[in-house]
Amino acid sequence: MKSHYDYIITGAGLAGLSLLMRMMQHPFFDTAQILVIDAAKKNTNDRTWCFWEKESDIFEPIVIKKWDHVSFLAPSYTNELNLSPFTYKMIRGIDLYSHVLEKAATKNNISFCTERVLAVHSDNHGAKVVLESQTLTASKVFNSILFEPANVLAQKASDYFLWQHFKGFEIKTATPVFNDAVATLMDFTVDQAEGTTFMYVMPTSPTTALVEYTLFTPNILEEEKYDKAITDYIQKTYGSIDYEVMHHEFGQIPMTNYSFVAGAENLINIGVAGGQVKGSSGYAFHFIQEKTKTIVADLVAGKNPLRARTFALKKFQLYDSVLLRVLHDKKLDGASIFTAIFSKNPPDRVFRFLNNESTLIDDLHIMASVPTRVFLPAAIQALLGVKRRRA
Ligand SMILES: Cc1cc2nc3c(=O)[nH]c(=O)nc-3n(C[C@H](O)[C@H](O)[C@H](O)COP(=O)(O)OP(=O)(O)OC[C@H]3O[C@@H](n4cnc5c(N)ncnc54)[C@H](O)[C@@H]3O)c2cc1C
C-alpha cells in the first residue's frame, strides 16, 4: 500500500461505494489513485434498500423489483397510491457491494484495504487517515464513518433524536399469497403502544416478501418483540399460512435535527456521517445518490465539494426539525400525521416532499394538511432554534 493517494474513501458502504461507482464511470478519474478502506469485507447481505426515483440511475442493473403502486393503511384511511411519475425500487445490499467491487477489480488505479480507521483529519495541504498500522495522506478524503454514535452526538447538543428501528423477515410461503404489483409502504393498523409503529411489506413475487416491523422511538426493543410483531402481523393479514424465513435484517437509523459536520477543507463527510439521512423519515438512499453526484460534478469542475448548505436544504431541515419535534414530544402520533398527509395530497406531491424536491406551493399544501395548532408551535420553536430540555 502506498502512503499517499489522490482520493481516499473511508467506509465502503452505500455512500462510499456510490461515490466510487460514480468516479469509475467518469474518465476524469481514470488516472487518479483511489484507495477505499473498510473494516469489513462487504460480503454479507446486511440490508435491503428501497427508494423511489423518476429516472434510472447507476444502480438500475441491480434493481431486483419495482412497483408502480404502493398502499398506505391506517385505522381511519386506506388507499392504493399510483406513484407515477415515480417508481419504487428495491436493491439488495450484497448485490450493490458485489456490483461495485467487481467493477473496481477491473481498474488498476483503485485499491482496497480492509482495516479499521481510527480517525480522519484535514489540513491545508490535504487530509490524513489514521489506521492502526499507519497514517495515510490524500489530496481529499471522503469519509462515511461516524466515529461517535448519532444518538450520543445529538444528546451532547441537546438536539431532538429518535431511532427508526426495524427488523425484517424475508419470507417464502408454500402457496401464493402476495399481490406483488403493490408494496405496502406503511401499515399503521398495528399496536401503537410503543410509539409510531408500522409494518412495511415488499412482495417480490406471489410467494416471497420482505415483511418489516418499524418504529420511530427513543429506544430499541428486545429482539423477541420484533419477531412476535412480524409473526402476529403475518397471521392477522394472510391467515395461518406455511412459510419459512429465508433471511432477516435489523436496522437502526438516526432521526435527528443534529447538524452533522459536513467536513473541513479537504475532508468531506458523506452518508449518515455527512448528515444525508432525512431527519424526519430516516430515508437516506436518494440523498446519498444526490450528494455523490454533486461531489463528482464538483471534482470534475475543479471545485471543492465541501459546500455551504443551500437555502433549499435549510428549508427542508427546518421541516424535518418541526416534524421530529412533534413526534418526539408526542404532540401527535405518526399514524395521524402520515394519514393527514397521504389522504389530503396527491402521491407525487408527497413523494416530492419526502425527497426534498417539493416547491414552496407543494410545501404550503402539505402544511395545510396537518393540524396548525400542533405544528405551528413546533415550527416557531424550530425557527428559534429552541433546544430539547435534557432529561
Ligand atoms: C438494515 C437497513 C436497511 C435500510 N434500508 C433503507 C432503505 O430502504 N431506504 C433508505 O433510504 N435508507 C435505508 N437505510 C438507511 C441508509 O440508507 C443506510 O444506513 C446506508 O447504508 C447508509 O450508508 P452509509 O454509507 O452512510 O453507511 P454504511 O452503509 O453503514 O457504510 C459505512 C461503512 O463504514 C464501515 N466502517 C464503520 N466504522 C468503521 C471504522 N472505524 N473503520 C473502517 N470502516 C468502518 C462499515 O463497515 C460500513 O461498510 C437502511 C439502513 C439499514 C441499517
What's phi and psi for 147, nearest 5 deg? -80, -15
Helix (H, G, I), strand (E, B) or coil at 273: helix
CATH of region 161-255, choose from 3.30.70, 1.10.3470, 2.40.128, 3.40.190: 3.30.70
Q: One-letter amino acid identity for 105?
A: A
Which among 274, 286, 281, 298 has a CA at the least distance from the CA of 338? 281
DSSP state at residue 288 = H
State pLDDT tens for residues 224-273. Answer: 999 999 999 999 999 999 999 999 999 999 999 999 999 999 999 999 99
How many Å apart are CA 357 and CA 363, to the nearest integer?
Answer: 10
Ligand 1 and 113: CB distance under 6 A: no
Out of 18, 35, 38, mutate this one to test ligand 1's pocket (max ligand atoms within 8 Å of CB): namely 38
State pLDDT tens for residues 176-218. Answer: 999 999 999 999 999 999 999 999 999 999 999 999 999 999 9
Ligand 1 and 38: CB distance under 6 A: yes
Query: Once rounded to an integer, what is the mean pLDDT over residues 69-94?
Result: 97
Question: Residue 388 pLDDT more than 90?
Answer: no
Q: What is the pLDDT of residue 307?
A: 87
Q: One-letter amino acid identity for 311?
A: F
How many Å apart are CA 75 and CA 294, to the nearest integer?
Answer: 41
Residue with cell 399544501: 365
Cα angle 367, 349, 84 (rounded to 5 degrees) comes to 165
Neighbouring C-alpha atoms within 13 Å toward the C-beta of 161: 23
Q: Compute the distance from residue 14 Cα to the ligand 1 centre, in Å.
A: 6
Nearest protein CA to atom 6 of ligand 1, as residue: 49
Ligand 1 and 40: CB distance under 6 A: yes
CA 330 to chain centre: 23
Question: Residue 390 pLDDT more than 80?
Answer: no
How many Å apart are CA 106 and CA 376, to the nearest integer?
Answer: 55
Which among 70, 48, 335 has a CA at the least distance from the CA of 215? 335
Which among 245, 275, 239, 383 has a CA at the least distance from the CA of 325? 383
Helix (H, G, I), strand (E, B) or coil at 265: coil
State pLDDT tens for residues 158-174. Answer: 899 999 999 999 999 99
pLDDT band (50, 70, 90) for residue 110: very high
Nearest protein CA to atom 16 of ligand 1, as residue: 284
Nearest protein CA to atom 15 of ligand 1, as residue: 284
Query: Once rounded to an integer, what is the mean pLDDT over residues 308-333?
Result: 94
Question: Residue 8 pLDDT more than 80?
Answer: yes
Which among 162, 216, 156 has a CA at the least distance from the CA of 186? 216
CA 304 to chain centre: 25
Q: Which CATH class is domain 4-65+91-154+257-300?
A: alpha beta
DSSP secondary structure string, 4-39?
EEEEEEE--SHHHHHHHHHHHTSGGGTT--EEEEES
Ligand 1 and 16: CB distance under 6 A: yes
Q: Compute the distance from residue 162 Cα to the ligand 1 centre, in Å.
A: 17
Number of Cβ within a 10 Å radius of residue 385: 8
Ligand 1 and 272: CB distance under 6 A: yes
Q: Are 179 and 233 in contact (CB under 8 A)?
A: no
pLDDT band (50, 70, 90) for residue 283: very high
Across the chain, what does the average pLDDT equal?
96
Ligand 1 and 51: CB distance under 6 A: yes
Q: Which ligand 1 atom minimizes the distance to the CA of 272?
A: 26
Instruction: Please give the share of the chain, as a percent, with pLDDT higher than 90.
Output: 95
Query: Once rounded to an integer, what is the mean pLDDT over residues 263-291?
Result: 96
Question: Residue 75 pLDDT more than 60?
Answer: yes
Q: Compute the distance from residue 324 Cα to the ligand 1 centre, in Å.
A: 21
Q: Compute the distance from residue 89 Cα to the ligand 1 centre, in Å.
A: 18
Q: What is the pTM of this model?
A: 0.97
Query: Once rounded to an integer, what is the mean pLDDT over residues 129-146?
Result: 97
